[in-house]
Structure formats: C-alpha cells, structure tokens
Chain A
Amino acid sequence: MTLTLQIEDLALSRGGRRLFSGLGLRMEPGQACALTGANGSGKTSLLRAVAGLCAVDSGRIAFGNADPASARASSLHLLGHLDGLKASRTAGEELAFWTGWQGGTPSAMAAAVRRLDLHRLLDLEVRRLSAGQRRRLALARLLSAPRPLWLLDEPLSPLDARWRAEALEIMAGHLSGGGLILAAVHDPLPLAALALEITT
C-alpha cells in the first residue's frame, strides 16, 4: 500500500492565534521529512491537522487520489506526546488492543515485540514503565499494524542512545519499504531527505 501526501497553502490557527500560513509540502513514497520550528510554532498542530484531528483555516491536505477520510482511518499512524496507553493496564493488553484497533495482526505484533525487546515488559502495568519504555511500546504499535504514513512527534526524545539508533533503523526500514515519515523534531533527523521549518 503506497501513499503520497500533498499539503498546499495551509494555514492553521490555535486558540484564535495564527500559527502559520502558506505552508506547502509534497511527499512521495520512501521520503521522510523533518519538521522543525520553535516551541509553539505549530509542529504538533500540523501533525494533528494531517491526521484530521484539528480543522485548518485554509489550504488543502490530500493523500494522492485517496479519499482523505479513509486514508486517515486506515493509512496513517500518529505518535504524539500522549501515547494513548492506559496506566492501569498491562503493556501486553494495551499493545494487543491497539494492534487489533488499527487492523494489525498477532504475528506482526509478535515481530514488533521482538524488534523492540518488549518481552519482559508485557506483564507490567504501563504505569511501571519508564518514559523510554513507554515510547518503545508506542513504537511497537507502529510496527504491529503496517500503515504507510507515520506522523511522529519528537519520536526520539525519551529514548536512550541505543534505542535512538534502533528507532532510526526502524524508521529507515519503514522508508525503504515505501513508507512516509513526517516527524516533528528539534535535532535534524540523520535520515531525513526533506526538511520543513515552520516560521511565522
């Protein structure tokens, strides 16, 4: 399943304040884009707008010829600061639930657990996990339900050096399989082909 992303002349406001306008971006399969900008410049809002969670003032977000609603429902992953993992449930329960919710398979989930070395964490309640472990669990969700477009909000920030390298490798693998990654970051991504800086 391949997907392209076109953003044309986009303008976005939050709380009555204009964040940016005239923003454009085109992404083809296999491309990554590092989204940079000052705190509060609208990186997270842009990701949420692409995911269809917040309305745009003007402009267009399209996914090739695909219907935007179905593309959002079945072809993109959103990984934000808030990872949607319930503190009172175990890591295994949460991963299984989201895998099913996003249309993944148990075998893909098992592979994701191996890839992110989560075996020993699956029985723990999410509240017992460290920030980095939680992020690994959230990353496992991306792998257990294959979807072409990944919207990542500072994906590497809580990870240690080893897992940053592993996460970058996972992202590179996703790109080589024809996926797209739009990531809000503070440091440039070593694998990014495109760079988009949000300025007001």
Chain B
Amino acid sequence: MSAALQLLRREMAIAWGRGGGLLVTGGFFAGATLLLPLASGPEPERLAQIAPGAAWTVLALSALLGLERLFERDFEDGALDLMAHAGLALEFTCALKCLGHWLATGAPLALLAPVAAIALGASPALAPLLFACALAGGLAFAFTGGIGAALSLGARRGGLLTAVIVLPLFVPPVIFGGGALDAFTAGMPWRAGFALLCAYAAAAVALGPLAMAAACRNALS
C-alpha cells in the first residue's frame, strides 16, 4: 500500500512540477473561457445562456492538456519498464497514474469551472452542480484520456494522436454533464444526467486501467 501512496505522491509532484502543470492547465482554461464572449458578443443574456455549457466544454478540452505526458515521460526514461516488471500490477499502476493526474489538475479545475461560469453570467445557484459535474467528469476524462495516452505511446506527435483518440470518448460525459446543467438551469429534473455522468466515470475508472495496461505492455514489447 505504501508503494501505491508513494506512486501517487510522485505522480502529483511530477504533474505540479516543472513545465507548468496546474498553472498551464488553469491558464488555458481561463483563457479559452475568455475567448467565448469575444466570439459570441457581449450581450449578457446570451452569455448567461451558454455559460454553463461553455465552461463544461472548455473543461473537457483542458483535460487533454497534460494527458500527452502521462505515460510518455515514463516510457521515454525507462521508468515504465521498471513499473511493468516489478512492484504493483500494471493495471493498478495505470489507475494510480490517472488518479494522480486527476488530483493534480482535474480536481483543481473543478474549483475553477463554477468561477468561470459565474464570470460569464451563469446563475450562482448552478455552482454546486457544476462543481460536482466537473469532479465526476474530470475523473471520466482522466481515465478515458489515459487510454488514449497509453495507445499513442511511441508515436510521433503523440499528443495530437491522444486528442484524436480521446475526443470521441469524451462525447458521452460531455452530453450527460451538459444535459444535467441545462436541465438544472431550466428548472427541470437534472438528476438523471448527473447519475449517467457518474456511471460513465465509474465505468471509466473500472475498465480504463485494463486497456491502459494492455496498451503499455504492447508499447514496451
């Protein structure tokens, strides 16, 4: 168990360390959200209408940023070799890496998402639901994203490939979360969408590591 905790700490230290981590992801998130009023015009009513969906979509895109290096770093410097033959099961290792990635970038972004939505004019009453959606969605993005990151190991321009692989997997959580937010804004029942989002996240957490470990083994052999 202590090996698991140490790995989690290491992953978070690396994600927060040099090369940006949270600052870059948070900066990208803030910047991309700010582009929206510039593109769609400054009328407050219109902005307020699209604010939750916009914050939600930009959140999904921000989740792509750190994914590229999730496995590639360890693949390039040989750490993945050592992780694959010794220590914890590779599936568990992959799950911990994704969890560390989520804790380091996804969870802090979940705090930022309601702030961005309110800045665009969304109702403050939406903040708790957006935060919860961003937490669950972030988990789904991290664990489905890890599959793309592992599959693109060893490819040139792996980051771009990761995004292309992963975006289709992001469609369901974006729909479920966006649906819940829309329903909440319109005063309709929103629990179904949120529950589906959580179910998708749970499935990603359960099944993603199996695919990641298989993809890592394939890349190493």
Contacts and interface: CB of A to CB of B under 8 A. Distances in A.
Q: How large is the interface on A (under 10, 10 to 19, 20 to 34, 35 or more residues)?
A: 20 to 34
B180 to A, nearest CB: 38
Nearest to B74: A84
B86 A88 contact: no
Interface residues of B, number: 26
Interface stretch (A16-24, A33-41, A50-58, A188-196): A50-58
A89 B85 contact: no
| Majority secondary structure, B binding face | helix
A26 to B, nearest CB: 22
Nearest to B221: A54
A25 to B, nearest CB: 19
Given A73-B86, A73-B87, A102-B86, A89 B77 contact: no
Contact of B13 (A89, A98, A102): A89
A157 interface: no
A83 interface: yes
Contact of A80 (B14, B74, B78): B78
Contact of B82 (A81, A84, A89): A84
A54 B86 CA distance: 15
Given A53-B221, A73-B87, A101-B6, A86 B82 contact: no
B82 A101 contact: yes
B17 A88 contact: yes
Given A54-B220, A55-B221, A89-B13, A84 B81 contact: yes
Contacts of A52: 84-85
Interface string A162-179: 000000000000000000
A107 B12 CA distance: 26
Contacts of A59: none
A156 interface: no
Interface in B80-97: 80-87
A89 B15 CA distance: 11
B46 interface: no
B2 interface: yes
Contacts of B77: 82-87
A101 B14 contact: no
Nearest to B19: A88
A101 B13 CA distance: 16
Interface in A67-124: 72-74, 76, 78, 80-89, 93, 96-98, 100-103
A98 B78 contact: no
B7 interface: yes
A84 B86 CA distance: 13
Contact of B18 (A51, A73, A84, A88): A88
Contacts of B6: 96-97, 100-101
Contacts of B125: none
Contacts of B79: 84-86
A74 B86 contact: yes
A85 B14 CA distance: 12
Nearest to B13: A89
B14 A98 contact: no
A98 B82 contact: yes
Given A82-B77, A83-B77, A101-B7, A88 B82 contact: no
A8 to B, nearest CB: 20
A73 B73 CA distance: 22
Given A74-B86, A97-B6, A101-B3, A53 B14 contact: no
Given A86-B14, A100-B3, 4 more contacts: A48-B81, A53-B84, A84-B74, A93-B13
10 contacts: A48-B81, A53-B84, A54-B220, A73-B86, A74-B86, A85-B77, A89-B13, A100-B6, A101-B7, A103-B86
